[in-house]
Amino acid sequence: MQCTSCPAGKSSTTVGAISDSACACDAGSTGADGGAACLPCARGKYKAANASAACTSCVPGKSTSSAGASYASACTCDAGSSGSDGLSLCVPCAPGTYKALPGPQNCTACADNQHTQTGATGCVCNTGHAAEGPVCSSCVADKYKDAPGAHACTPCAAGQHSAAVGASVNPCVDCSAGSYSADDRTRCVQCHNHSHSSPGSASVAACVCNAGYEDAVCSACVSGKYKVAPGAHACTPCAAGQHAAAVGASVNPCADCSAGSYSTDDRTLCVQCHDHSHSFPGSASVADCVCNAGHTSNHTLCAACVPGKYKSQPGSGACTPCAAGKFSGSLCALADTCTNCLAGSFASGDNSQCVPCTLYSFSAVRSVDASACACYAGWSGSHPLCVGCAAGKYKLHPGPQACVTCDAGKSSDTPNASVYACRECPAGSFASMDKSLCVPCRADSHSSGQSDDPSHCMCNAGWSDVGAVCVGCVSSKYKTRSGPRACTDCAAGKYLSSVNASTDRCTDCPPSSFSAADKSACLPCKANSSAPAGSNASTDCVCDPGRFGATCESCAAGKHTALGAPCEDCGPGKFSPTPGSAACEACPPGSSNALPASTACTCEPGFTGEACVSCPDDSYKGATGAHACTSCPAASFVVFPDNTVLSDCMCQAGKYLREIPDTVVVGKATRV
């Protein structure tokens, strides 16, 4: 077992306590012994012992600063009284002093212009004074305070004023009639001129203008206005059609404007109507002024009816124009005096006169305008100008229509034609653009009858169209028919030397020649060349056989060519002995050559001489060349073609071959 602590706020003074009943509340709290909780002594009470006894109240007039006081010395005097802490009694603060907080301190004397009752916790301002921070100040002028206390000074009522300072009774009095109180209520302000106010007026708004005056500063009613009663309302303007010159009128001074005049917008005076107009009495504007008969309104003026117009009644209406085709020269016409325009004339746009039709035209009676003037036949146009039909044109009827141009291929040289005078143009001519004449075709051309354009003139055969002229066909060209076609060139290889040729007379160039570029002649081929008939260019000329190159030079001996090709070497077994060979010759029998470009052949073995003939039957030849054959030994012979060496020699019949020492074999057989 072990000892247990008493609950919080309790303790025990008994040694050897065996239960919590020995636990009693600590000083400053109260409650039953044991495990129950203790309560702190309330404010104004205390308990000094450790026991279950109740808390003790402080003496009257004292209290504690907080709950849970454990000593009597915690009891202190309340605010408004003073004395030492503990069980002694407190003394209330005397009048004129105060104590704001509880405690042992002494009471404090009030400041100037303040006072208190017995036991006061604070001072209040005296009458005629009010708090301004920590001090009491005197009530300013226009305010007062008739009871002491913390409340503010009372301002004078609206419409009153006071100049007294520190007033403890109500000093405010009403402002007199014709004035109003200032915003600070310290004085009264007089109303402005020509205005008044009731007694006790509080602001300038209470000042109203007298009769005959208006606006914020009470200005006098201007001329044309009046005001019969005082007040804030505006001056009343004179009625429309009235006027008044008086200023500041307090009775109605307005009077009607007399006949022939009207009131101005500001009603200050009457203005006379403009000339040639009038108005009724009491007219209010210039619009009431109406123009007299014979006059019409021109904005703000009345203008006289101009010639060509009239007006029979007064008013603002327009003048009436004369009827169509009539005129009048009168100014300010009061009635219809308009007269018909005569034939050959028409009424002007303003009907003030009749205008004669232009020359070469006419019109009917009472024509309205220039469009009625019709130009005569043979003349075109309209007023103010009729123009005679030019040559090449005609007009059969009067009127505004245009002149008619002669038909295609026809012309007329008659001006101002009123009948059809157009005639056909003959062959070989054409009608001019204006159809006034027939123009001859250009030289070396012709046209059919009734042609209408220079393009109809066709160049004759043998002539071609170049721009605007016909140019004869040059040599080498021809043209077989008339027309716009160009001349035809001679065909390739032909020529024509004559000019203006109308038939195809082009001729073939002869052999060994060719046609010139312009086909006007044939040019010979270069030397040592030729061309067939009808050749067209120098390239048709070919070098003769055995010749070549641009100058057709001869091929060297041992070479050959044909048709102008480059020279070629003669091949083996062939030769050309002279320059200019067209072909190489074959070597004759019994001869040959092995080298190209040979000019001759060499005799073969067994052949001899210039003609390379076979060696005789009794001889042989073993080398090439033209030298002589070698004879066989006596009584021997050879048989062709075995005749090229000594051994080819054979013994004749009846002979035989016998070897002879140190000799050459003569034959190889015996002839039978």
Single-letter amino acid, residue 4: T
List beta partners, residue 154.
144
DSSP, collapsed to helix, strand or coil, labels residue 204 as helix
> Rounded to whole angstroms, how far apart are CA atoms 410 and 519?
44
pLDDT along the chain (672 residues), means of 10: 80 77 85 84 87 87 86 88 87 90 89 87 88 86 86 88 86 89 86 89 87 90 92 91 91 92 91 90 88 85 91 88 92 91 92 92 92 92 91 92 93 93 93 93 90 89 87 88 87 86 88 85 87 86 82 83 81 86 86 84 88 88 87 86 85 73 43 32
Three-state DSSP string of 285-353: CHHHCEECCCEEEECCEEEECCCCEECCCCCCCCCEECCCCEECCCCCCCCCCCEECCCCEEECCCCCC
Q: Which residues contact 132 (CB under 8 A, 6 or more apart)?
A: none
Q: Residue 260 — φ and ψ, nearest 5°?
A: 85, 10
Token digits for 141? 């002028």
Closest CA to 601 of 576, 630, 634: 576
Cis peptide bond N-terminal to 641, omega within 30: yes
Tokens 């009752």, located at residue? 117
Bond from prior residue into 589 cis (ω within 30 degrees of 0): no
Other beta carbons within 10 Å of 592: 20
* Separation of first and last alpha carbons in the chain: 189
Alpha carbon 526 to its chain's center: 77
Structure tokens at 380: 């075109």
Extract the tokens encoding 539.
Answer: 């390239």
Q: Report the relative pairing of strands 301-304 and 309-310 from DSSP bridges.
A: unpaired
Beta carbons within 10 angstroms of residue 33's beta carbon: 18
Q: Please report, for residues 142, 180, 204, 218, 453, the alpha-carbon distance to residue 191 in angstroms, rounded to integers and kept in the order given.
A: 20, 7, 7, 10, 110
Give the helix/strand (H/E) hosting 514.
strand 513-515
Q: How far apart are CA 230 and CA 281, in angstroms?
A: 32
- Quote the CA–CA distance of 647 and 616 in Å, as a whole number: 15
* Tokens linked to 559: 């070479």
Residue 109, helix vs strand vs coil: strand
Nearest to 601 by CA among 615, 620, 588: 588
Paired with 108 in beta bridges are: 98
The length of the chain in residues reads 672
* Sign for the pseudo-dihedral over CA of 267, 273, 277, 280: positive
- In sequence order, the 6+-apart residues with CB closer than 8 A to the CB of 16 are none
Q: Give the span between the Cα atoms of 447 and 432, in whole angstroms.
A: 14
> What is the rounded distance in angstroms from the CA atom of residue 557 to the CA atom of residue 11?
170
Measured distance CA(379)–CA(392) in Å, rounded: 13
* Residue 50 DSSP label: S
The residues pairing with 345 across neighbouring beta strands, listed in sequence order, are: 356
pTM: 0.33
The pLDDT, as a whole number, for residue 661 is: 54
- In angstroms, what CA-CA distances link 385 with 350, 361, 380, 415? 21, 9, 9, 17
Distance of CA 259 to the CA centre of its chain: 65
Biggest alpha carbon–alpha carbon distance for the chain: 220
Give the model's pLDDT for residue 666: 41
> What is the Cα–Cα distance from 537 to 513, expressed in whole angstroms?
9
Asked whether 390 and 416 are in contact (CB, 8 A), the reply is no
Determine the Cα–Cα distance for residues 142 and 165; give it in Å rounded to an integer: 8
At 40, is the secondary structure helix, strand, or coil? Answer: strand
- Cα–Cα distance for residue pair 505/509, rounded to 1 Å: 13
At CA 548, angle to CA 547 and CA 550, rounded to 5?
130
Instruction: Provide the b/e sequence for 649-658 (b: ≥16 CB within 10 Å).
Output: bbbeeeeeee
Backbone angles phi, psi at 204, to 5 degrees: -65, -25
Phi, psi of 286 (to 5 degrees): -65, -25
Virtual CA dihedral for 262, 265, 266, 269, nearest 10 degrees?
-20
Rounded to an integer, what is the distance from CA 47 to the centroid of its chain?
A: 104
Between CA 358 and CA 375 the distance in angstroms is 8
Phi and psi at residue 18, in whole multiples of 5°? Answer: -110, 0
Hey, what are 411's tokens?
């012309």
Q: CA dihedral defined by 291, 294, 298, 303, rounded to 10 degrees?
A: -110
- CA-nearest of 450, 518, 457 to 484 is 457
Map residue 456 onto helix, strand or coil. helix
